[in-house]
Amino acid sequence: MNTQSLLSQLLLGLINGSFYAILSLGLAVIFGLLNIINFAHGALYMVGAFCALLAMQWFGIGYWGALVLAPLVVGAIGVLIERLILRHLHQLDHLYGLLVTLGLALMAEGFFRWAFGISGASYPIPEALQGGVDIGIMFLPLYRAWVVVASLAACFATWYVIERTPLGARLRAATERPQLTQALGINVPVMVTATYAVGVALAAYAGVLAAPIMQVNPVMGSNLIIVVFAVVVIGGMGSILGSIVTGVGLGLLEGLTKLVYPEASSIVIFVIMVLVLLVRPAGLFGKIA
């Protein structure tokens, strides 16, 4: 094993880690405010990727348009899901939310499989980001570099809004003491809906980012979501910063595993999850309840 291959695998791990980060961030935000384990997250990531694909095929809208459009469309779907279904589950056990969102995920997958087939379609890399640069240790496709920048920027923006703005302060207040916050004249139900919409819009954004490097197909979300759940559990459910840091960190760890013993790369994250749950059941960044 030489330094060059080590560094290049770490870089690839960073790229995958930024996907984990942005997806687990959306899950963490939703869990934090709604107390819902959103199993539909992977399906909505898939829907985001399909939005990009269909926008191109049907309306000729390119990548950059899709990067804005897909989160808006999926965010609107999120508003409907929250208003029509999840709203009624607030008082119930976590399990109900999990089951309902899992059902929604299966329905979405089934629909896309029926409509577009299982192999899906290929989405081209936008022209401005085609090709790559030789950075010494490896050939880095420009698009992968863009993925890291774009997803970490979105993560940072989300973190900043929640932790450093008055809006974020209200959100956090609504999370901790919903009744009290409502009594102070803040419309908590609207904030809840908006939070769910933003959380799933992040998933759609990740879906568009993934479309040019992974085949757009109905199961692309379910392949990823289990890993992302493990990331959230390791980081601590509901911890914003935790989900970002853990996402990137586990991506790097997975990259290293692929170098040393690739056969184990799909389970290494779960091994870490078990260890973390044994030592710190609330997750690395979670507050002990």
Answer for the pair 264, 11: CB distance below 8 angstroms, yes or no. no
Kindly tell me the sign of the dihedral angle through the C-alpha atoms of 136, 142, 147, 149.
positive
Q: Which of 176, 224, 171, 180 is nearest to 198 (CA)?
A: 171
Task: Give the binding range for another protein (CB under 8 A) out of 35-43, 125-133, 188-196, 236-244.
Answer: 125-133
Task: Give the binding range for another protein (CB under 8 A) out of 22-30, 40-48, 124-132, 172-180.
Answer: 124-132
Sequence letter at residue 272: I
Site for another protein in 139-168 (CB under 8 A): 139, 141, 143-144
Residue 140's DSSP bridge partners are: 133
| Six-digit token string for 144 | 């992968």
12 binds another protein (CB under 8 A): yes
The span from the CA of 210 to the CA of 28, in Å, is 20
113 binds another protein (CB under 8 A): yes
41 binds another protein (CB under 8 A): no
End-to-end C-alpha distance for the chain, whole angstroms: 44
Q: In the complex with another protein, which residue's Cβ is closer, 119 or 165?
A: 119
79, 125, 145, 173: residue in contact with another protein (rule CB under 8 A):
125
Site for another protein in 237-266 (CB under 8 A): 255, 258-259, 262-266
- Return the C-alpha torsion angle 97, 98, 102, 108, nearest 10: 40
Residues in contact with another protein by the rule CB under 8 A: 5, 8-9, 12, 15-16, 110, 113, 117-122, 124-125, 131-132, 138-139, 141, 143-144, 212-215, 217, 219-220, 223-224, 255, 258-259, 262-267
